[in-house]
Amino acid sequence: MSLTQVKHIVLVLSGKGGVGKSSVTTQLALSLSLAGHSVGVLDIDLTGPSIPRMFAIEDEKVTQTPGGWLPITVHNGDAAAGIGSLRVMSLGFLLPRRGDAVVWRGPKKTAMVRQFLTDVFWGETDYLLIDTPPGTSDEHISLVETLLKDTTPEQLAGAVVVTTPQAVATADVKKELNFCAKTGVRVLGVVENMSGFVCPNCSECTHIFMKGGGRVMADDFDVKFLGSVPIDPQFLMMIETGRRPRYPAGTLVNGEDMSAPAGAT
């Protein structure tokens, strides 16, 4: 079984599309890998698989082996420097052309989700992050049923729920929390994405929408608030072009000189 060597499985959920679920999954994967963990990313957002674009590996094709599909390896630096392996599987790799959409009925989608959980050769993996479609659909039910059946409670770490300051005011994100409660999936916490806008010139963060809703909602549901991520135009550019943006000379982020070429010390 393909998940037996996976230590921790984390679902990434959101009440609706466009709140940054795939972006948060990508950043979590990169951070865990940079911290030395081996990481897998499984994209089961079948109608809009955006994970391959986020990792700039859209044109890759996965191969079938006797042990299952081999996920695509992302080169995220030097393994000798203690950076963990990073592998990605997405329906996007199986589509004939970039950006093709799948128009499938529920049963075909649920069968695909099950196949993704059973037929991908992950090997030894510390964290498997699963990027799910928005909402609570047939794919979610199939995903959770298969995970509860095929993994141990220790393996199924839980779910990270992503929202935006505006979306917390809607019922969508609450539905995700209710879905977790009903299906018995632990909620690891809530991330508020697009929480304010950091001015690229003066670094001041302006809260365009309401502030702090994610924390209030997390408190209401008695789940952890994991943190907030501001709107970052440089991040958007990096995702859209697949390249690190050029920063003005002397730009420091967490003490790192962002104007230096990537990898420079």
Structure tokens at 6: 């996976």
In order, the DSSP letters of 4-62 are TTEEEEEEEEESSTTSSHHHHHHHHHHHHHHTT--EEEEE--TTS--HHHHTT-TT---
Evaluate the CA torsion angle 128, 135, 216, 193 in order and state its sign.
positive
Q: Pick between residue 83 and residue 177 the one whose CB is nearest to ligand ADP.
A: 177
Nearest C-alpha neighbor of 159 from the set 181, 132, 124, 186: 186
Instruction: By CB under 6 A, tell whether 50 contacts ligand ADP.
Output: yes
Q: How far is the CB of 265 from ligand ADP (least distance, A)?
A: 27
Q: How far is the CB of 249 from ligand ADP (least distance, A)?
A: 23
Q: Pick between residue 68 and residue 116 the one whose CB is nearest to ligand ADP.
A: 116
120 is in an annotated binding site: no
Between CA 196 and CA 212 the distance in angstroms is 10
Q: Pick between residue 70 and residue 239 the one whose CB is nearest to ligand ADP.
A: 239
20 is in an annotated binding site: yes
Q: How far is the CB of 50 from ligand ADP (least distance, A)?
A: 5
Which SS3 state, helix, strand or coil, does residue 81 take? helix
Evaluate the CA torsion angle 62, 63, 67, 70 in order and state its sign.
negative
Interaction residues for ligand ADP, span 154-193 (CB under 6 A): 193
> Residues 6 or more apart from 23 whose CB is under 8 A from it?
54, 193, 235, 239
Interaction residues for ligand ADP, span 8-47 (CB under 6 A): 14, 17-23
Q: Which residue in 126, 150, 232, 257 binds ligand ADP (CB under 6 A)?
A: 232
Q: How far is the CB of 231 from ligand ADP (least distance, A)?
A: 4
Q: Which residue in 239, 251, 257, 258 binds ligand ADP (CB under 6 A)?
A: 239
Interaction residues for ligand ADP, span 68-97 (CB under 6 A): none
Total of chain residues touching ligand ADP, rule CB under 6 A: 17
Main-chain dihedrals φ then ψ at residue 145, nearest 5 degrees: -60, -45
3-state SS track over 196-219:
EEECCCCCCEECCCCCCHHHHHHH
Map residues 189-208 to x or -, x wherever contact with ligand ADP holds by CB under 6 A.
Answer: ----xx--------------
22 is in an annotated binding site: yes
Q: Pick between residue 83 and residue 162 the one whose CB is nearest to ligand ADP.
A: 162
Decide: 225 and 219 in contact? Cβ < 8 Å. yes
18 is in an annotated binding site: yes
16 is in an annotated binding site: yes
Q: Pick between residue 21 and residue 37 the one whose CB is nearest to ligand ADP.
A: 21
Neighbours of 255 (CB within 10 A): 5
Between CA 228 and CA 70 the distance in angstroms is 34
Which residue ranges make up the annotated binding site?
Answer: 15-22, 199, 202
Residues in contact with ligand ADP by CB under 6 A are 14, 17-23, 50, 193-194, 229, 231-232, 235-236, 239
Residues marked as binding for [4Fe-4S] cluster? 199, 202
- Binding residues for ATP, as ranges, are 15-22
